[in-house]
């Protein structure tokens, strides 16, 4: 299993064993039933991309291309217009339409208004060891300007370390099994963003750290949580067969890794989905389905 898989299993156990149930939740399932969760506060996970620790779960298939498409709509071609997001292959924001064909002054609209990405890139290039490299989607004036879902993953902080660019991402709330959990879509897409910004600024992608202030498992996801635990147990059982075997006679262990086929110093807008390749990714099946709380 990957580092992300091990994190995920530990976090599932933590929530199931120690989590607390919410009261009067805002989200509802499609049938109108309140979408209750159990959750824990203050979850942190850390990966060193330079050592092959890419955050992707293998206990179920992750739609990594979908995640990168969404990160494009936030940071590369920032927009809040649903039709523009759909042109880039992002088709799941419809339920958050505020009535004007947008998701409100949120996400890509905030990035675009304050030119956050270009300012970040210039700061990394011109003042690499400065400690003010922050992109915040939590702009109070934007949140008050329109209705809309408040940003979940809202803050990134960037630091140069020799030849490496490190980044931490702060998330106020996370639906662990569908998006925010270890090796899930949020970690995949923000690790991809780190890889992109590092390549544009001429650095190597280094450490990616993810902090979730409140991470939840929805009540209709409990069965899938236990299925993931069973899959991890199956993987552990398989490893018994290699105990005592000469390691030189076993195939080398391979960790999945996202590779960006683009030269250092390239322009961010020139990076396409086709420039990415996921190496050595062989997730378990069948795929699991999750009902969303909206």
What is the tens place of the pLDDT at every residue in 110-122? Answer: 999 999 999 999 9
Instruction: Give the residue ranges of DSSP H helices in the chain.
Output: 3-18, 64-71, 82-87, 108-113, 116-126, 140-145, 185-201, 222-239
Instruction: Give the residue ranges of DSSP H helices in 23-175.
Output: 64-71, 82-87, 108-113, 116-126, 140-145
In a domain, 121, yes or no: yes
Q: What is the pLDDT of residue 239?
A: 63
Separation in Å, CA 29 to CA 86, 117, 225: 23, 35, 18
pLDDT above 90 coverage of the chain, percent = 91
Residue 247 has pLDDT above 90, yes or no: no
CA end-to-end distance (rounded Å), the chain: 32
- Indicate which residues carry an active-site annotation: 152
In a domain, 287, yes or no: no
Q: Do 92 and 185 contact (CB within 8 A), yes or no?
A: no
What is the tens place of the pLDDT at every residue in 62-98? Answer: 999 999 999 999 999 999 999 999 999 999 999 999 9
In a domain, 50, yes or no: yes
Q: Identify any residues that bridge with 136 across adjacent strands, giving them in sequence order.
A: 155
Residue 223 has pLDDT above 70, yes or no: yes
The 10 Å CB-count burial string (b at 16+, else e) for 82-114 is bebbeeeebeebeebebeeebbbbbbbbbbbee
Separation in Å, CA 280 to CA 132, 138, 228, 248: 36, 36, 20, 20
The domain that holds 224 is classified in CATH as 3.30.572.10
Structural domain span for residue 131: 3-19+37-240+251-279
Element (H, E) at 259: strand 257-260
In a domain, 284, yes or no: no
Q: Calculate mean pLDDT across residues 221-234.
A: 96
- Residue 37 pLDDT level (bands cut at 50, 70, 90): very high
In a domain, 286, yes or no: no
What is the DSSP secondary structure assignment for residue 251, as one 8-state letter?
P
In a domain, 285, yes or no: no
In a domain, 163, yes or no: yes
In a domain, 109, yes or no: yes
């Amino acid at each position: 299993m990957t580092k992300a898989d091990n994190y995920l299993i530990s976090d599932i156990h933590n929530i199931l064993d120690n989590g607390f149930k919410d009261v009067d939740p805002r989200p509802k399932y499609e049938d109108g039933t309140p979408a209750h969760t159990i959750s824990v506060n203050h979850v942190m996970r850390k990966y060193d991309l330079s050592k092959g620790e890419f955050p992707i779960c293998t206990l179920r298939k992750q739609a990594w291309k979908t995640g990168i498409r969404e990160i494009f709509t936030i940071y590369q071609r920032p927009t809040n217009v649903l039709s523009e997001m759909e042109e880039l292959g992002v088709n799941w924001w419809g339920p958050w339409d505020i009535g004007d064909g947008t998701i409100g002054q949120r996400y890509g609209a905030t990035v675009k208004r304050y030119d956050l990405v270009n300012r970040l890139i210039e700061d990394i290039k011109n003042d690499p060891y400065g400690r003010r490299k922050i992109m915040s989607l939590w702009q109070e004036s934007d949140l008050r300007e329109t209705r809309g879902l408040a940003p979940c993953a809202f803050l990134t902080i960037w630091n140069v370390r020799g030849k490496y660019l490190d980044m931490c991402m702060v998330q106020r709330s996370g639906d662990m099994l569908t998006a925010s959990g270890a090796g899930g879509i949020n970690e995949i897409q923000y690790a991809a963003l780190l890889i992109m910004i590092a390549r544009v600024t001429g650095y190597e992608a280094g450490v990616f750290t993810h902090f979730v202030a409140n991470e939840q498992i929805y009540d209709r996801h409990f069965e899938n949580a236990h299925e993931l635990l069973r899959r991890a147990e199956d993987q552990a059982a398989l490893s018994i067969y290699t105990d005592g075997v000469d390691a030189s006679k076993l195939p080398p262990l391979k960790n999945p890794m996202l590779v960006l086929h683009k030269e250092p110093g390239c322009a961010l807008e020139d990076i396409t989905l086709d420039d990415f390749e996921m190496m050595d990714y062989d997730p378990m099946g069948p795929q699991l389905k999750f009902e969303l709380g909206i």
